[in-house]
Chain A
Amino acid sequence: EAQVTQNPRYLITVTGKKLTVTCSQNMNHEYMSWYRQDPGLGLRQIYYSMNVEVTDKGDVPEGYKVSRKEKRNFPLILESPSPNQTSLYFCASSWADPTSKQYFGPGTRLTVT
């Protein structure tokens, strides 16, 4: 089954404790992206990757890091999480670019206290 998986689905952590949210797709897609979703603000792009070893900042990259060492994986790293990073996070992938049909993961609910 074609899918995007994210782990963990739920995470409660404390300020400053480094964490990684994993994202993996099994569709051999070139493009991958991370979004955060907050009430009233819609979907905001954090980082994206057009291909392996190629990553770029989205609209809200501050406080986040990503890497794309393999085509299928695109982890999101929070080196020192803060409460304002409490949000719902989605990973997505598509075969070419953001205007190709994007497949979204199920989401990761992160709470930073």
Chain B
Amino acid sequence: GESVGLHLPTLSVQEGDNSIINCAYSNSASDYFIWYKQESGKGPQFIIDIRSNMDKRQGQRVTVLLNKTVKHLSLQIAATQPGDSAVYFCAEGGAGNNRKLIWGLGTSLAVNP
């Protein structure tokens, strides 16, 4: 696969453990937050999103938590599997007429069997 990022923050977990990936966002006016997953050699893929009027949202094995007080977003992955190994991007958006997204630089998740 193709390398999509060098010197990324890396989280290494054991298969079956829970993973928590953190993200700090910058704009207090952002009202929408989203996580994408990028596997090696592929384009990013939507995982889960959350609006600013919520502080928690759950999907299948994933949970996103939003703390607006400290402008912090986290993605929790339950029972991490080898297929979860990827780079994870957070993005904030919604401010302004074009609802532009501001992307984070990504976190690499490595799942050890």
Q: Which residues of A contact B (CB under 8 A)?
A: 4, 37, 39-45, 48, 50, 56, 88, 90, 92, 97-99, 101-107, 109
Contact = CB atoms under 8 A, between A and B. Distances in A.
16 contacts: A4-B43, A39-B3, A39-B6, A40-B6, A40-B105, A41-B105, A42-B104, A43-B44, A45-B100, A48-B98, A88-B2, A92-B43, A98-B100, A104-B44, A105-B43, A109-B2
A65 to B, nearest CB: 19
A99 B105 contact: no
Contacts of A45: 100-101
Contacts, number: 66
Contacts of A4: 43
B57 to A, nearest CB: 14
B5 interface: yes
A39 B4 contact: yes
B5 A39 contact: yes
A107 B100 contact: no
Interface in B19-58: 32, 34, 36, 41-46, 49
